[in-house]
């Protein structure tokens, strides 16, 4: 089992961040799903399309299969993300 990385995810409407240790082999898709569950949000469509993304160092992360180690490197023991909602207007 790999080293642990202390992950923090902030979501603007929430008063408390999501904090959880993950193995460095954990994939970003798992962290996104876990954080969305913690904040009680989900991708959905009403008249508009609502999709949530993780951001790291002001960059949107789109590769859900990327591991923490690939993203932050083998020596980093912490990672801070933002959970951001993108709303695309419907037609």
Length of the chain, in residues: 91
Instruction: Supply the pLDDT for residue 77.
Output: 87
Q: Does domain 4-88 have CATH number 3.40.640.10?
A: no
Which DSSP letter does residue 10 get?
E
Give me the helices (H) in the chain, please.
28-39, 68-72
Instruction: Supply the pLDDT for residue 1.
Output: 54
pLDDT tens digits, residue range 5-64?
999 999 999 999 999 999 999 999 999 999 999 999 999 999 999 999 999 999 999 999
pLDDT tens digits, residue range 56-88?
999 999 999 999 999 998 878 899 999 999 999
Q: Taking Cα atoms as reference points, which of 70, 74, 68 lies closest to residue 34?
A: 68
DSSP bridge partners of 66: none
d(C-alpha 5, C-alpha 40), whole Å: 23
């Amino acid at each position: 089992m790999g080293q642990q990385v202390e992950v923090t995810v902030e979501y603007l409407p929430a008063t408390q961040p999501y904090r959880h240790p993950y193995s460095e082999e954990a994939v970003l898709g798992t962290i996104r799903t876990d954080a969305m569950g913690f904040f009680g949000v989900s991708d959905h469509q009403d008249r508009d399309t609502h999709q949530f993304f993780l951001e790291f160092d002001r960059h949107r992360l789109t590769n859900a299969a990327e591991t923490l180690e690939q993203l932050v490197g083998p020596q980093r023991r912490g990672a801070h993300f933002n959970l951001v909602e993108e709303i695309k207007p419907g037609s």
